[in-house]
Amino acid sequence: MLHANWREGVTRDGRAYAFTCPATPRYHHQWHWDSCFHAIAWRHLDRARARAELRTVLRSGRADGFLPHTAFWQRWPGWRRAPLYATARVRRNAATASIGPPVLPLAWELVAGDDDAFREEGLAPLAAHLDWLARERDPDGDGLLTILLPDESGMDDSPKYDAVYGRLAHWRPGYAVLVQRCRRVGWDAAAYARRHDEHVEDVLVNVLYVLSLQAMARMSGEARWARRAEAVQQALLDRCHDPETGLFYDLAGGAERPVRVSTWSSLAPLALTGLPDDVRRRLVEDHVLHPRRYGAPVGIPSVAMDEPSYRPGFDLWRCWRGPSWVNTAWLLVPALRALGYEDDGDRIVSSLLRAAREHGLREYYHPHTGHGLASRDFGWSTLLLDLVAG
């Protein structure tokens, strides 16, 4: 499947690319975090392709360290889909002007393994990327990254954004207005945040940021990355952790209102080994394994089953509102195993393997029945390989 979805070539202006498209016919382009996940799977099969895919992610960006959410290597989006992309101009864009969840340094470290040359090759551009994020996407300077658009977290239509974005939500026509606002300020997050209140310090984005900073600290040996990781982790604990429920909540707008909706993003800090054990164990006991919340028969649902907005089935217009995706388990199962919940981790992986065997590698699965939903031959569902190998 990864071979079938592989795309490589040279653009009209001479830029070489090689990546796995997430799934045809729905997704033609290169998505930032999808490619990172594909490379993590590819490393078990063909390390040259894993490296090529990550190099292409770097090539999709700018010298100042900006990396786009989506890159259009083979063709520009068609007129029907173009309005759905968060680009700098209305037409003729090579990539979006929005960002994706920052997983690249983490993926780079995993793909490099003992390949010192590849690791070294990544250090300067990855440092530029992490510095760009800190400089451009932390407008209030509290250490936590801010997203302007809901899909910058990768969880486009998550119900946690419903109240924050209202009619500007990703699944509503007003999303075009949101993109237009960003264009008007040249995608300058500080300028945007001065004028508009629809922005979020997103827990999942910041957890992935910490993991990437830690990967960078290990790859470079430079203490500054470890210090920054520590500061972001502490900010998550101080500002996003809710002692009442034990969950972590996003902070919305200038007033940093906690977004009290339980989604897998609220569980993501489980992956941060530096957080106190009792905080992580509570996430496991009270939420991940809780039979009425996330303890579903198949995978880990993307929204808690007791949330009023929870919808486990397929919805053509909205995703991330309930079904189980493989990357959710990929992030959380190693943490479960490390905390001693090996059997639960194995059970979650086996349930997804069973679903994949019966229904193929689908975009996501029904948490109660294991039914495969949305796109077929979906790239990052191959993360199952990494979960089994790990």
Residues that bind ligand GLC (CB under 6 A): 22, 27, 31, 33-34, 154, 156, 319
Residue 100 CB, nearest approach to ligand GLC (Å): 7
Residue 242, phi then psi, degrees to nearest 5: -105, 105
Residue 37 CB, nearest approach to ligand GLC (Å): 9
Residue 147 CB, nearest approach to ligand GLC (Å): 13
- Detail the DSSP E strand segments found in the chain: 6-10, 16-20, 30-31, 70-71, 200-201, 251-252, 257-258, 364-365, 372-373
Nearer Cβ to ligand GLC (264/341): 264
Nearer Cβ to ligand GLC (33/108): 33
Nearer Cβ to ligand GLC (107/193): 107
Please count the other Cβ atoms lying within 10 Å of the Cβ belonging to residue 367: 26
Check: CB of residue 235 under 8 Å from CB of residue 144.
yes
Nearer Cβ to ligand GLC (112/203): 203
Residue 195 CB, nearest approach to ligand GLC (Å): 26
Residue 265 CB, nearest approach to ligand GLC (Å): 12
Residue 98 CB, nearest approach to ligand GLC (Å): 11
Cα–Cα dist 352/383, whole Å: 11
In degrees, rounded to 5, the angle at the alpha carbon of residue 291 between the alpha carbons of residues 285 and 292 is 105
List, edge to edge, every strand of the sheet that includes 257-258: 200-201, 251-252, 257-258
Residue 204 CB, nearest approach to ligand GLC (Å): 11
Check: CB of residue 344 under 8 Å from CB of residue 350.
no
Nearer Cβ to ligand GLC (24/350): 24
Cα–Cα dist 45/51, whole Å: 12
Both structure tokens of 379: 């790239």
Residue 301, phi then psi, degrees to nearest 5: -60, 155
Nearer Cβ to ligand GLC (20/262): 20
Nearer Cβ to ligand GLC (49/69): 69
